[in-house]
Amino acid sequence: MKRFSFLALISLIFIAATAQNHHKIQSPQVNDDRTVTFRLKAPKAVKVSVSGDFAPYHAEMTERNGVWEYTTPEPLAPELYSYSFTVDGLRMNDPENVFRLRDVNSISDIFIVSSENGDQTADLYAVRNVPHGTVANVWYDSETFGTSRRMTVYTPAGYESGKKRYPVLYLLHGMGNDEEGWTTTGRAAQIIDNLIAQGKAEPMIIVMPNGNVAMEGAPGETSWGLVQPTGMLPKTMDGAYEASFPEIINFIDKTYRTIRKREARAIAGLSMGGFHSFHIAKEYPNMFNYVGLFSAVVNPRQEGVTDVYKDYETKLQRLFGSKPELFYIAIGKTDFLFDENVAFRALLDSKGYPYEYFENSDGHIWRNWRIYLAQFLPKLFKK
């Protein structure tokens, strides 16, 4: 009888060691005092810097024995940060860090700084030792567009083993993004897992469809092949997607154990997804009880392939006449859509339409959208 071959074991360890070979230095390293150290082995480089949303500048790194290093001078606030290196003018990812996120066509390395007490908004972005929901990529047949289309669906912990019905949040992505944006850069699954575990949000299904109707799904996940993503896709804001939205709701109501009532439906989105959310809610005023606009485009397009953008004020009146439980608007002070949102709120005010408003710093960035989602979720389905 042959026993486990020693040679095979050694070979396996060798493979493992070889694969680890270039990982002898650690980067990024989140230090105990919440400063962060970045390192890059680049003995032949002349100039290396690190940049990202942790600082408003390219930080020059200093070299010693071929390893370039930079430590932030101050502790970083708890947050999920992204960064990359620039080596002699060439942007590159951190070879020591496998955790990366794609946003449209740019890939950045990420790290998370947690707080001491675990009680900050950013602490919701980490995977914690709590019950976890399921995240699935699901295809539905779109009659409107004549194709199968891909969506990401979160079902809360206990969904599979139980018989309960759940409320549904439809959560829409921004321009150039796709059905994976909210669960990758948006950390939506971690945020809702943690909020449910803390008793701060109701268990719910979150449906994240793809709003780029020219495509079947995220780049690389369609029959187009491995086609590089671009920022602007055709047909994203022409009314067709908004008008078609009931087919997504029908698919979800048929496929999942949902509560099929307006009281148990919410819709929210960021940027273009906020635009979609608003115009869908306006077109179907008895469909959603909660509406969230995160850094949203709001003003209707002048042209569209459907009537969705027509009769704006009448539909607005109908929407608020249906008395949604929550109409939530959030935007950052330096967002390029800030003025448009100021004007939109002035319109709502002039008509006496009630809404909840949150304003913070910064502009059109994912950090804000994670914050808005973490704020929005606890407000849903409390009745």
**Comparison of 146 and 383: residue with beta carbon closer to its own copies:** 146
Q: Which amino acid is at 242?
A: E
**Comparison of 59 and 157: residue with beta carbon closer to its own copies:** 157
CB 118 → its own copies: shortest distance, Å? 11
The Cα–Cα gap between 54 and 168 comes to 34
CB 290 → its own copies: shortest distance, Å? 24
CB 14 → its own copies: shortest distance, Å? 9
DSSP per residue, 241-259: HHHHHHHHHHHHHHHS-B-
The Cα–Cα gap between 283 and 315 comes to 7
Burial of 28 per CB tally in 10 Å (0-12, 13-18, 19+): buried
CB 325 → its own copies: shortest distance, Å? 26
The Cα–Cα gap between 111 and 94 comes to 11
CB 371 → its own copies: shortest distance, Å? 20
For 167, what's the count of Cα atoms within 13 Å in the CB-facing half-sphere? Answer: 22
Q: Which amino acid is at 253?
A: D
**Comparison of 161 and 383: residue with beta carbon closer to its own copies:** 161
CB 383 → its own copies: shortest distance, Å? 29
**Comparison of 129 and 383: residue with beta carbon closer to its own copies:** 129
DSSP per residue, 312-347: HHHHHHHHHHT--SEEEEEEETT-TTHHHHHHHHHH
CB 127 → its own copies: shortest distance, Å? 6
The DSSP secondary-structure symbol of 185 reads T
Whether residue 156 is preceded by a cis peptide bond, meaning omega within 30 degrees of 0, is no
**Comparison of 8 and 73: residue with beta carbon closer to its own copies:** 8
**Comparison of 257 and 379: residue with beta carbon closer to its own copies:** 257
CB 110 → its own copies: shortest distance, Å? 7
**Comparison of 20 and 361: residue with beta carbon closer to its own copies:** 20
**Comparison of 114 and 375: residue with beta carbon closer to its own copies:** 114
Burial of 375 per CB tally in 10 Å (0-12, 13-18, 19+): middle
The Cα–Cα gap between 178 and 119 comes to 30
The Cα–Cα gap between 287 and 278 comes to 12
